[in-house]
Structure 1
Amino acid sequence: MSEVLEDGDIYFLYRPRVGEQHVDSLEEVQRLLVVLHPWRGRQRLRLLVVGRKHLPEIDEHNRFWGFVDTVVSRPQQLYEALRPRQYETKTRGERLQPAARPAAEGAYSIARHDDHTHLAYQLELPHRLGPPQHELDIEPEASYIVTVKNPQAPSPPGVGLPGPGKAKLPADLQERFHGRRFAPLDPPRFLDHGGVELVLIGAAHDASAELGIDLDAEVERAARNTIFEDLRIGRAEQPAAPLLTGQWQ
């Protein structure tokens, strides 16, 4: 059995590559983004970036790197991170990167399980998964072992965030590493600090059975709102087709 440390709403979004107004495949995606909106405690939203543009494959038990990009207290503050962006280039002039587009939403739990922690989720939308969810490896339900990297530990060349981007943790969280390079995501408030680096490892398709938690009940709580109501983002800038129909847009 496991102990739930935190639960809330989870949203998956993808940001198209610069100049790609219409996405037809993963090749035209620049980043996979994950928003965690806890239900209890201090109001906050965390925007996470998954390093390989898709989630780890469960059966392969892949290890993927990610990091906390932004932590805000109000949904409107996420607008800057999700909105369209204009770029000025020397060779090609002004270019547009479209807004991030929602691909799935549901409920999540962060759970302590033996000597490690899991991030588990179950989807509410889309009702039928399609090409975006399959290529992004977003399962209807899944569990990932998640660990936090010690920001004071060195990284191999070319791996992880550069020095200025690394998290500066309060003393009580830094002590959780006990000098090690990694620690469980316990407590989840590690995620309240921008620049925190994570490793996700595919663990199980049936997260409810593996962890002994009722994700169906969590999804019923999450179903009150969609990403557009909860995060207060506009449907004009963030097309709804991937979320509602399971099709690229």
Structure 2
Amino acid sequence: MTLRQTRLDERKEQDSSAKSGDSSEEQIAAGDKRKAPANESADNADNDDRAKSRKTDDSANQDDDNAKAQKDTDTNASAPTTLSGSQSKADNTLKGDDIEINEGNSDGKKEVPWHVSEKGLVYFFYRPKVQSADKADSKSTESLDDVQNTFMLLVPRASESETAPASDASKEQGDKREPPNPTAYRLVSLGKKRMPSPEAALKAGQEPGGIGGRHSEAIWATVADIGADLKAVAEGMGAERYSTKTRGERLKPAARPAGRGHYALSIKTTDPPSSREVRITYHLSHPSEKDFGQVQEELGLHPASSVLMQMRNPTLAPTGPNAPAAGLPEDKRAILTKEELQENFGGDVNKNGNRYARPEEPALLDRQGVELLLIKRDQEEDDGSKGLGDEQSEALAKLAKEDSNKLSDDAILKELALSSKDVEVEALSGEWI
């Protein structure tokens, strides 16, 4: 049985036809076999050759690429980078349906069907705690304990959502909790100030919380902001000074980038429906695996990772009866239409239905106040599960690898209209700052 064709497929096929006149490829059937991805050990070695200091560009060609990317940022806030020819070829593979041949599964070789519903760039930032202004020139962060907030920034490049990526920033509406919202970015605030990671929790002396004991962890996350113009991200990332009557002049330090790469939202299209999953899978281009340090370790980041994503029903109380209050207050939660509630939670505006659901439609994330549960399971990685089909996973890795080789730290700041004059980049080399 051939899986459904999507807006994401159609958009890429139109682009491909316009450039080459070739007919689009047939969709992959759920039972079709894929060959295992090629050995990427040589690619990993190339990644490790990147120097720790990448603050300046290494060639005139890179300068040209960065200038072009910056021009695109100025004219189209939802497309901060320009893909090279080889990246465009890989990007055209990262769509539609594919099969993962899971040979590491404890039950033996297994075929898992995946469907990509969105792809784009992902960034991870942390902001140090507010401090006295007279300490502004000192090192403000030495561990996760000194961090105020950590964010995951998603910048869609292509999506099945009708409202992402945004093409017109002028169409933003007043209440971002209510659809439709043109979405160039989603700023996701991470609970525990990091991504879910059983390993990071244990190293910090914590017990991972989640089904699976010490080999699984679940954290809360919230879509703190969305917008149709990436320039708003830069405005919110900068330092801020203010005065208080009791504590004098205070400084909210600028956010620091800790990771950047490519991501995909995917759906495991298995039967029965209760076995389906929604995943966010990423491959980081910055830092390289060689440059990973204490920052990335404590923030629960990996060179590549796949995390299960669930969405909480905004019409239900965040916790059970007689439990302490948790989560967002009702007037801060996302607003879903009657049809969305019925289709995803089996409920209605009268607060019925299931407590959690899989956000299979990316448009569900295009609003402020969405509450998410992010789950990391070590066993899935031990079994070889990647959250994407084999060819899709290889394409995502290639996109990140090429950016890793060609983009400096300054260049990735420019993607978001940021500057190293205002934003420290040392964390991209694994050092707290």
Answer yes or no: same fold by TM over 0.5. yes
Larger relative helix fraction: 2
Whether 2:197 is the aligned partner of 1:197: answer: no
Cα distance in 1 between the residues matched to 2:417 and 2:261: 16
Cα distance in 1 between the residues matched to 2:394 and 2:254: 31
Cα distance in 2 between the residues matched to 1:48 and 1:83: 17
Structure 2-normalised TM-score? Answer: 0.54
Amino acid at match of 2:341: Q
Shift of 1:118: 0.8
Partner of 1:177: 345
Q: Secondary structure at the match of 2:192?
A: coil
Shift of 1:212: 2.3
Whether 2:317 is the aligned partner of 1:154: answer: yes
Shift of 1:58: 4.8
Shift of 1:164: 2.2
Count residues with an aligned counterpart.
248
Residue 233 of structure 2 is aligned with which of 54, 78, 81? 78
Partner of 1:48: 188
Deviation per residue, 1:60-115 (Å, 9 max, x gap): 31110010011011111113331223343332022111011100111111111141
Identity among equivalent pairs (%): 33
Q: Secondary structure at the match of 2:233?
A: helix
- In structure 2, relative to structure 1, the CA distance for the partners of 1:208 and 1:231 (3 Å cut) is farther
RMSD of aligned alpha carbons: 2.1
Q: Would you say the 8 A contact 2:386–2:393 is kept in 1?
A: no
Residue 280 of structure 2 is aligned with which of 105, 116, 119? 119
Residue 144 of structure 2 is aligned with which of 26, 35, 40? 26
- In structure 2, relative to structure 1, the CA distance for the partners of 1:110 and 1:235 (3 Å cut) is same
Q: Secondary structure at the match of 1:62?
A: strand
Shift of 1:219: 4.5
Q: Would you say the 8 A contact 2:129–2:252 is kept in 1?
A: yes
Partner of 2:26: none
Cα distance in 1 between the residues matched to 2:234 and 2:387: 36
Larger relative strand fraction: 1
Partner of 2:124: 12
Amino acid at match of 1:143: S
Q: Would you say the 8 A contact 1:121–1:215 is kept in 2?
A: no
Q: Secondary structure at the match of 2:216?
A: coil
Shift of 1:25: 1.0
| Structure having the higher Rg | 2
- In structure 2, relative to structure 1, the CA distance for the partners of 1:112 and 1:77 (3 Å cut) is same
Q: Would you say the 8 A contact 1:122–1:216 is kept in 2?
A: no
Q: Secondary structure at the match of 2:422?
A: coil
For structure 1, list consecutive stretches of 5 or more residues without a partner in the other structure.
Answer: none
Residue 362 of structure 2 is aligned with which of 188, 195, 205? 188
The structure with higher relative contact order (CA 8 Å, sep 6+) is 1
Partner of 1:242: 427
Q: Secondary structure at the match of 1:211?
A: coil
- In structure 2, relative to structure 1, the CA distance for the partners of 1:16 and 1:168 (3 Å cut) is same
- In structure 2, relative to structure 1, the CA distance for the partners of 1:26 and 1:12 (3 Å cut) is same
Cα distance in 2 between the residues matched to 1:239 and 1:108: 24
Residue 167 of structure 1 is aligned with which of 309, 321, 334? 334
Partner of 1:212: 389
Structure 1-normalised TM-score? Answer: 0.91
78-87 or 115-124, larger mean C-alpha shift = 78-87
Cα distance in 2 between the residues matched to 1:247 and 1:188: 34
Residue 305 of structure 2 is aligned with which of 108, 131, 142? 142
Cα distance in 1 between the residues matched to 2:262 and 2:388: 15
